[in-house]
């Protein structure tokens, strides 16, 4: 079972698209199909249920995907150990983080790494903070800056950076929301709330409401990203929950303020996350080591 065939199968097992894998390996779809057929003949079982363009893994295919992942990783490590004369790591390291984290945390995290490994190309994807772990799980990226969830799966490796406080914020402008908040007896049932679509911040906010027996929140909108929450609160649409660092770096920070209430919402444990099965990959390992050395 040659390495190229394993690599082609592994890519196809992740993409489940013959055209994309064929393009990645510069072969025709028919050549790729023959390669998969040879693997099936060698193993004596069907690996894929496929049509002309797409594919679905069989249970045997899932097992081979896991095997191929291990073998390709071991080969990568072997090549590195046999080529110690190559002083500099090369390749691409894919990182995911929120827009705010790209300003607030990423620069200091990558400074030391770039000095040690200047030939490594850093690929950055930004988006909703709640999407960090799915990006890692689906192997779209190698590493993500993420908030650790309440129950972190054992499939992840998490390196803590710091704790980030969460605040319940409100608009400073004169609006109906401000009138509601200035009442002697605040009716939390009626105050509109801007919430994240999903993620730890939403879970913690809803848990706080339940603990205060405020009931079900009056949700004005659900949005993707804490930055959008700050903007909508600044427009007077409602109150919301956001990490303090997001508020501090927002261009509309002067139009919101943190409510002076004892909410008791736990801060985020912010850190760098990757899959356990990938933490020994040369580029990922080097990045994690650079963070540890910088912290020390």
pLDDT at 194: 93
pLDDT > 70? residue 285: yes
pLDDT at 145: 94
pLDDT > 90? residue 126: yes
Q: What is the mean pLDDT of the chain?
A: 88
Question: Can you spell out the DSSP letters for 239-263?
Answer: EEEEEHHHHHT-TTGGGEEE--S--
pLDDT per position as a tens digit, 98-113 = 999 998 999 989 988 9
Q: Which CATH number is 3-83's, of 3.20.10.10, 1.10.10.10, 3.30.70.330, 2.160.20.10?
A: 1.10.10.10
230 in Cβ contact with 240 (< 8 Å): yes
35 in Cβ contact with 42 (< 8 Å): no
Q: Which residue has the higher pLDDT, 273 or 85?
A: 273
pLDDT per position as a tens digit, 20-73 = 898 989 899 889 889 999 999 999 999 998 776 667 899 999 999 999 999 988
- Burial label for 180, CB within 10 Å (0-12, 13-18, 19+), is middle
Mean pLDDT, range 233-260, rounded to an integer: 93
Alpha carbons within 13 A on the beta-carbon side of 7: 13
260 in Cβ contact with 168 (< 8 Å): no
pLDDT per position as a tens digit, 185-231 = 888 888 999 998 888 888 888 888 777 766 677 889 999 889 999 99
**With pLDDT > 70 as the criterion, what percentage of the chain qualifies?**
94
Mean pLDDT, range 122-150, rounded to an integer: 91
pLDDT at 2: 86
Which strands sit side by side in the sheet containing 143-147, from one edge to the other? Answer: 120-126, 91-97, 143-147, 268-275, 156-164
Was domain 166-266 assigned CATH 3.40.50.10320? no
- Quote the tokens at residue 144: 């993500």
Res. 85 pLDDT band, cuts 50 70 90: very low
**With pLDDT > 90 as the criterion, what percentage of the chain qualifies?**
48
Question: Can you spell out the DSSP letters for 157-170?
Answer: EEEEEEEE-EEEEE
pLDDT at 211: 77
The CATH architecture that domain 91-163+269-294 belongs to is: 3-Layer(aba) Sandwich (3.40)
Which candidate, 267, 268, 285, places its Cα nearest to that of 276?
285
Q: Is 269 helix (H, G, I), strand (E, B) or coil?
A: strand
Q: Is 186 helix (H, G, I), strand (E, B) or coil?
A: coil
Q: Break the chain into its structural domains and give their ranges.
A: 3-83, 91-163+269-294, 166-266
Tell me whether domains 3-83 and 166-266 share a fold.
Answer: no
Mean pLDDT, range 250-271, rounded to an integer: 89
Weakest mean pLDDT among 79-93, 213-227, 277-291: 79-93
pTM of the model: 0.65
Question: Can you spell out the DSSP letters for 118-160?
Answer: TTEEEEEEE--GGGHHHHHHTTS-SEEEEEPPSS--TTEEEEE
């Amino acid at each position: 079972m040659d390495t190229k065939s394993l690599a082609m199968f592994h890519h196809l097992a992740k993409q489940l698209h013959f055209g994309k894998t064929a393009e990645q390996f510069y072969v025709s779809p028919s050549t790729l199909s023959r390669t998969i057929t040879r693997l099936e003949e060698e193993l004596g079982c069907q690996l894929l249920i496929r049509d002309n363009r797409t594919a679905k893994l069989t249970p045997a295919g899932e097992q081979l995907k896991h095997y191929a992942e291990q073998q390709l990783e071991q080969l990568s490590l072997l090549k590195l150990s046999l080529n110690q004369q190559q002083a500099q790591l090369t390749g691409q390291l894919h990182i995911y983080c929120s827009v705010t984290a790209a300003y607030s945390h990423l620069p200091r995290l990558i400074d030391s790494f770039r000095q040690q490994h200047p030939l490594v190309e850093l690929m950055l994807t930004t988006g909703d903070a709640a999407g960090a772990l799915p990006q890692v799980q689906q192997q779209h990226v190698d590493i993500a800056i993420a908030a650790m969830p309440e129950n972190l799966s054992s499939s992840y490796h998490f390196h803590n950076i710091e704790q980030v406080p969460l605040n319940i914020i409100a608009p400073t402008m004169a609006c109906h929301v401000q009138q509601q908040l200035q009442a002697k007896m605040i009716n939390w049932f009626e105050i509109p709330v801007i919430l994240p679509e999903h993620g730890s911040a939403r879970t913690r906010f809803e848990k706080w409401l339940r603990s205060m027996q405020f009931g079900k929140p009056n949700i004005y909108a659900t949005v993707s990203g804490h930055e959008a929450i700050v903007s909508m609160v600044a427009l007077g649409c409602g109150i919301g929950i956001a990490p303090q660092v997001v508020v501090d770096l927002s261009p509309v920070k002067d139009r919101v303020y943190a409510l002076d209430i004892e909410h008791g919402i736990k801060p985020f444990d912010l850190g760098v996350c990757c899959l356990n099965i990938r933490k020994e990959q040369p580029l990922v390992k080097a990045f994690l080591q650079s963070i540890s050395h910088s912290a020390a």
